[in-house]
Amino acid sequence: MSSTAVGHAPEAHATTTGISHNKMLMWTFLASDCMFFGSLIWVYTAYRGRSTQGPYPQEILNIPYTSVSAAVLLLSSLAMVLALHGIQHGNMRRFRVWLGATAALGALFLGGQYFEFTEFYRHGLSLQQNLFGTTFFVLTGFHGTHVGIGIIWLVTLILLSLFGRLSPANAERVEVAGLYWHFVDIVWIVIFTLVYLIPY
């Protein structure tokens, strides 16, 4: 496989490590974001099941609904990696289609989260209502914010490619955006298990 196929050669600069600075910076950011979400997750876990007033999680969490949301986000990761493969191999049409699908699936997930939040609010769960409400909304809200930023990033990449400002020579930019997007996915894998699936 040529070095272009892994998306580095055209934009590559000589670095002391042999790894592009953009990629190194993104992985370093993701390592720090692990700690950020790690902090939110332990706070959620520490206060898990300690609410003294309802609504309690077992009363309002909708597992089938959230399972579909989780599947949508997993599917978006597949679309993202196929978009990257498209641009790395010079197929801009395939790149745009899959990146558009990634952004659309991300938006679907975010819309689902908005619906879930409003449903919970309708059932009396708010940020101030109890420990579950506080920790749940902070944890999933920050994740949703990450998804929102990711969607803006993906749409920007699509627009840049449409205006001829993004070509296969810049595939590494897509790879870096993809790293961010997949990270959002793996954070949801953890949240889905800890918040929704482990019984209360």
Partner 1 sequence: MEHAPQALERPHPGPLTYVKVAVILAIVTVIEVATYYLVNYLHGTIVPILLVLSAAKFLLVVGFYMHLKFDAPLLRGIFGWGLTVAIGITLAMLALYQL
What does the binding site for partner 1 look like in residue numbers (CB under 8 A)?
1, 5-6, 8, 14-19, 23-24, 27-28, 30-35, 37-39, 41-42, 45-46, 48, 63-64, 67, 70-71, 74-75, 77-78, 80-82, 85, 88, 178-179, 182-183, 185-186, 189-190, 192-193, 197-199
**Cis preceding-peptide flag for 199 (omega within 30 of 0):** no
DSSP conformation class of 21: H
Task: Pick the closer one to partner 1 by CB: 63 or 149.
Answer: 63
Query: In the complex, what is the shortest distance from the CB of residue 179 to partner 1, in angstroms, rounded to a whole number?
Result: 6
Nearer to partner 1, 68 or 162 (CB): 68
| Closest CB to partner 1 among residues 162, 189 | 189
Q: How far is the CB of 123 from partner 1 (least distance, A)?
A: 20
Residue 81 CB, nearest approach to partner 1 (Å) = 5
Residues 136 and 57 sit within 8 Å (Cβ to Cβ): yes
Alpha carbon dihedral 105, 111, 114, 118, in 10-degree steps, equals -140
**Which class for 47: exposed (0-12), middle (13-18), buried (19 or more C-beta within 10 A)?**
middle
Q: How far apart are CA 99 and CA 66, in angstroms?
A: 23
**What token pair was written down for 19?**
């790894």
Q: Which is nearer to partner 1, 92 or 186 (CB)?
A: 186
